[in-house]
A and B are shown apart, each in its own frame.
Chain A
Amino acid sequence: MINHLPILQVVIPLLVAPLCVLFRSPRLVWSIAALTCWIILVIAGVLLHEVLSNGVISYEIGGWAAPWGIEYRLDEANTLVLLIVSGIAAVVTSYARLSVEHEIAEDTIPLFYSAWMLCITGLLGITATGDAFNVFVFLEISSLSTYAMIAMGKDRRALTASFQYLVMGTIGATFILIGIGLMYMMTGTLNMADLAQRLPAVSDTRTIRAAAAFLTVGLSLKIALLPLHLWLPNAYAYAPSAATALLAATATKVALYVALRFMFTVQGVDFTFGQMRLDLILLPLSVVALLAMSMVAIFQTNVKRLLAYSSVAQIGYMTLGISMASATGLTGSILHIFNHALMKGGLFLALGAIMYRVGSVELDKLAGIAKRMPWTMAAFVAGGLSLIGVPTSVGFISKWYLILAALEKGWWPVVMLIVFTSLLAVIYIWRVIEVAYFHAATDENSGIKEAPLSLLLPTWLLIGASYYFGIDSSLSTSTAKLAVLRLWGGGL
């Protein structure tokens, strides 16, 4: 059975999704979903161990050999992302029970968990597959289920947010499909490893340049890179709390992984950075994203929106690392994918706990809340510190690598930028802390109790992980470095 693990990772949640529809009891459906997520986390752990000790795993679906059939190909880069997705899924699903019962009508809860499992299936499938068209199919699975989950938010604005994301996401997916189609037209293959071999011969054609452009724009939409981020703040703000945490910690990260896969493995460094000069586009966009979105975050009155804008800014760090086109920069990016998933996931879970008790995450409703919910707010503060990049937190590790990479290149202004945007993060996190800790509690807030343990434990699990990997970063950094070597394809 062990050699079937790459496909079981994706198929188990796929099988559980329709099962969720068949049952009525929210409690039962949740138990099945949570159990499944822990199983796939174990599978992801075993796979990472296998890959690190025995090298790349290839799995042929339906027994059809690789360039013709669909191949699942696991190397250091995507197994790390698999571990992130399934780890976050396991923790957030364990957390989801009370939060979902609180925010979603009882008869739609089974449908919610069905969409939830489909979303996880899609994200895992995108990551595991070695076939370009399969990426698109799983992208659609995860996107469609995401639109449904966002629309289930309690606020009526969730519907417009979901529709906005539907329109933008569909454009993005179409662009990605056009890009893949153009590459298929020139090479006659969809297998990524095969594409990587055949593309250099035709890389100097207008078709392939157009393919790269379509792919970059389409994936940027999914990543929410600056000018294409408009769907993200509303989607995160009005989605059910648990869904926000899952999406914020996984969806954009997986899209970024796909972008890395296409830029580095499929099209190759020479094409992406030598011929197309993608670094020249990514660098200014990342800088503007970091500066503008951190500033916008400062002025938000809804804490979920605040963190959403902060997410767009943090994505700027990841693309900044890519735009340096160096091994250290890419290591920083991949580390930030891992680290940001932990801390943003933890922060959104803390917010979900506040939502559960207070019923709102508007800043003025949170006055004096820290006295009532000390553990929840402590988790928020710890996550916030990690976001700022305080030493011993994961945020510090990834910023450290980004600064190292900038110094290697002699980009002093970029070093200043990273430090300056960390200070901006201090401001927006402080605004929440100030209201929660130093404002007198309003009368409405006087009866509020600490969040139940089933919400606190998963929150602290992620926050704790974000400090564990900040202190002992050997697993994440060594895997990230191996992933960089793999993505670069031996050109280092």
Chain B
Amino acid sequence: MKRNPVLRVITDLLLPPILLFALYVQFHGDYGPGGGFQAGVIFAAGIILYALVYGLKKTQRVLPPQRIRVFVALGVLLYAGTGIAGLLLGGNYLDYNVLGSNPLAGQHLGILLVELGVGITVAAVMIMVFYMFAGRK
């Protein structure tokens, strides 16, 4: 599809807003609809769109499969690590109250980190699954 100028131009136009919207859904998830899962899916959809139009090789130059694999693990670690941080700071596992100076700030920070972990892993897994299918000979 590389040679089709319409698709290429539309992709170039759409890609930045898609990735930006993913970040909006991610970080606005605390106040409105959204959250890590949806944000991760939107982000991955943007990357997959790019891969469909420009090809797998070019996409993997930006996001090599090995690095994606690291991100798959990183999200889970961030989630579970946030829980452990609460535990080390004197609360129970996943107790966000102790993360900040007051419970409100703590809860805010905790849910932000946890959702970020979800977002990273979901996006990485989606891209990984796409790589697996697209890379089959």
Contacts and interface: CB of A to CB of B under 8 A. Distances in A.
B92 A14 contact: no
A135 B31 CA distance: 29
A11 B83 contact: yes
A15 B96 contact: no
A309 to B, nearest CB: 34
Contacts of A17: 76
B80 A4 contact: no
Nearest to A23: B73
Chain A contact residues, majority secondary structure? helix
Contact of A62 (B73, B76, B80, B95): B95
Contact of A61 (B76, B81, B94): B94
B26 interface: no
B72 A21 contact: yes
B97 A15 contact: no
10 contacts: A7-B92, A11-B80, A15-B84, A18-B74, A19-B73, A21-B72, A59-B93, A61-B92, A62-B95, A63-B97
Contact of A19 (B77, B83, B84, B86): B77
Contact of A15 (B72, B80, B91): B80
B115 to A, nearest CB: 15
B69 interface: yes
A279 interface: no
A60 interface: yes
Contacts of B83: 11
Contacts of A185: none
B87 interface: yes
A21 B73 CA distance: 7
B95 to A, nearest CB: 4
Nearest to A10: B93
Nearest to B72: A21
A183 to B, nearest CB: 25
Contacts of A4: 87, 92-93
B72 A14 contact: no
Interface in A27-77: 59-63
B76 A18 contact: yes
A22 B53 CA distance: 30
B7 interface: no
A48 to B, nearest CB: 20
B70 interface: yes
A35 B100 CA distance: 33
Contacts of A14: 76, 80
B92 A59 contact: yes
Nearest to A72: B93
Interface in B92-117: 92-97
Contacts of B97: 63
B109 to A, nearest CB: 14
Given A11-B83, A22-B73, 15 more contacts: A7-B93, A11-B80, A11-B84, A15-B77, A15-B80, A18-B72, A18-B74, A18-B76, A21-B70, A59-B93, A61-B93, A62-B86, A62-B92, A62-B96, A63-B91
B113 to A, nearest CB: 13
A18 B77 contact: yes
A18 B92 contact: no
A59 B96 CA distance: 16
A63 B92 contact: yes
Contacts of B72: 18, 21
A14 B117 CA distance: 14
A18 B74 CA distance: 7
Contacts of A19: 73, 77
B75 to A, nearest CB: 8
